[in-house]
A and B are shown apart, each in its own frame.
Chain A
């Protein structure tokens, strides 16, 4: 087995003079759920299309399950499943027929059994004989996910799986993706739904033509914002602020009314010392909590100019 499920080295795609993907270096482990975040037009779909051997890279190289893109394309297609941006179902055909066609194209041995398994798993069995054109958006998306999984691919590309779905349908799809996590598949999830990425992904990449940052959501938070605790006191007093500033491990402090936000290197060890110092100074501490920046803060900060990591195989 190859060391990485997906590997990109300086992967680049140009359409004429338009640079769509610029020198991506990335390695994704087997069984990892990897979030690929970026604004519309960032080149996420182009990257997925290159990895799924639908379009050829202009330069650089990529490997999927150890197979080189542009050389072992047929083998790669056998080993990946893809959920495209739009479900692209045969609307005049039944759900069952839609899946049967793809099961045959992927060379699935037990076509009927595998089709039934996924129709049941995605709660579409009762509607198996209905035309896909009569399905709601959520059902179509579920059918398209089933289609991508029929041949049990070890690598799965999901391009905006919950885009344009109502909250209930989006939840169903998200829950199903969560169940796939436990099956050991590598999932490459393109999304701009940050809650979804936070909930599902082991690591995320923020991408806009090139990689801006790659890491776990928590690590990115720490890299961008450090670790902060918020302390609320019964009354505001400049003396309390001064008492905390006097501690040498406090990296920065901002105060507003009776609340202070303190940046620390090791909140677990340092917070009790802060509380003790405040109490000694005569402050009544109402609560202490670690400040959690949302993934949205991280994303916006990176997309609008920041950079947590660049270059090298991440």
Chain B
């Protein structure tokens, strides 16, 4: 436990001293929060007519918008869809940190002395995973709270605001966000320990966002309905993926290959 704690402390201290990573940690979530807030604000002001409603028929057929006026439905639907960005946040933020975590130490030659210490592969990877995951989860939750504060101000009615704190979004935030973060970090660490170039590792790591982009587009097009079942099902799938990825991460971390592949 002490070893894991030391690795987490080291990663965080290093993160704080690395301005680029720090800006990435702060800037990206801020932008991702600003987007749904802006949409919420402008949708609340925009006039909605029947033609708009018909064009977005499939999206608005979601029962969670039942009993709402056209203006409420439109504001709630658009902002809800944009809330998917809060699920991208835990993917986009930690994956670059995780992707750099091993290969970065390789290129800075600090991995060899680290591996020479009495630390197990599981302790090392767990420490690095927690160090990359925890800030991403906390920042996502913080941004969600910020969004809720603005939602309280800009929602045209209580019914609209309630759609952002319904069980579906609470499951998404409290269950799916941590699970997605673990997935992103595990993928990042696997890429990092198999890669020889930090830039390539970061680029490859960014690809983890793509499945969620597809999910996002699917909801926008109305092919995927945002509801509690969808999020519970997605959580179950991601949890299974996480178990496999964590095992794969430890199995694929070959100390000897990593050290001797250095150039």
Contact A88 B112 (CB under 8 A): yes
Chain A residue with minimal CB distance to B10? A101
Residues of B within 8 A of A92 (CB): 14, 17-18
Residues of A within 8 A of B256 (CB): 54-56
B 104-126 contacts with A by CB, 8 A:
108-120
What is the bound-complex CA distance between A219 and B7, given in angstroms?
A: 48
What is the bound-complex CA distance between A131 and B17, given in angstroms?
A: 10
Contact A93 B113 (CB under 8 A): no
Does any Cβ of B come within 8 Å of A84's Cβ? yes
What is the bound-complex CA distance between A301 and B14, given in angstroms?
A: 49
Tally of A-B residue pairs with Cβ under 8 A? 74
Contact A97 B259 (CB under 8 A): no
Does any Cβ of B come within 8 Å of A147's Cβ? yes
Residues of B within 8 A of A106 (CB): 117-118
Residues of B within 8 A of A54 (CB): 112, 115-116, 255-256, 259
Residues of A within 8 A of B255 (CB): 54-55
Does any Cβ of B come within 8 Å of A158's Cβ? no
What is the bound-complex CA distance between A101 and B120, given in angstroms?
A: 16
Q: Distance (Å) between the CB of A192 and the closest chain B CB?
A: 20
What is the bound-complex CA distance between A106 and B119, given in angstroms?
A: 8
Chain A residue with minimal CB distance to B117? A105
Residues of A within 8 A of B13 (CB): 93, 97
Specify which of A88, A131, A148 is in contact with B110 (CB 8 Å cutoff). A88
Contact A52 B17 (CB under 8 A): no
Q: How many residues of B contact A (CB 8 A)?
A: 26
Contact A90 B117 (CB under 8 A): no
**Contact pattern, A 76-102, Cβ under 8 Å of B = 1, otherwise 0:** 011010101011111111000100011
Residues of B within 8 A of A82 (CB): 112-113, 116
What is the bound-complex CA distance between A30 and B111, given in angstroms?
A: 29
Residues of A within 8 A of B57 (CB): none
Given contacts A49-B259, A82-B116, A90 and B14 within 8 Å (CB-CB)? yes
Does any Cβ of A come within 8 Å of B50's Cβ? no
Does any Cβ of A come within 8 Å of B3's Cβ? yes
Does any Cβ of A come within 8 Å of B69's Cβ? no
Does any Cβ of B come within 8 Å of A104's Cβ? yes
Q: How many residues of A contact B (CB 8 A)?
A: 32
B 1-58 contacts with A by CB, 8 A:
2-3, 6, 9-10, 13-14, 17-18
**Contact pattern, B 124-142, Cβ under 8 Å of A = 1, otherwise 0:** 0000000000000000000
Residues of A within 8 A of B112 (CB): 54, 82, 84, 88
What is the bound-complex CA distance between A144 and B115, given in angstroms?
A: 15
Specify which of A55, A78, A88, A148 is in contact with B109 (CB 8 Å cutoff). A88
Specify which of B10, B14, B117, B260 is in contact with A55 (CB 8 Å cutoff). B260
What is the bound-complex CA distance between A15 and B256, given in angstroms?
A: 10
Residues of B within 8 A of A53 (CB): 116
What is the bound-complex CA distance between A104 and B117, given in angstroms?
A: 10
Specify which of A89, A107, A147 is in contact with B2 (CB 8 Å cutoff). A107
Given contacts A77-B116, A104-B2, A106-B117, A93 and B17 within 8 Å (CB-CB)? yes
Residues of A within 8 A of B18 (CB): 92
Contact A101 B109 (CB under 8 A): no
Residues of B within 8 A of A112 (CB): none
B 77-122 contacts with A by CB, 8 A:
108-120
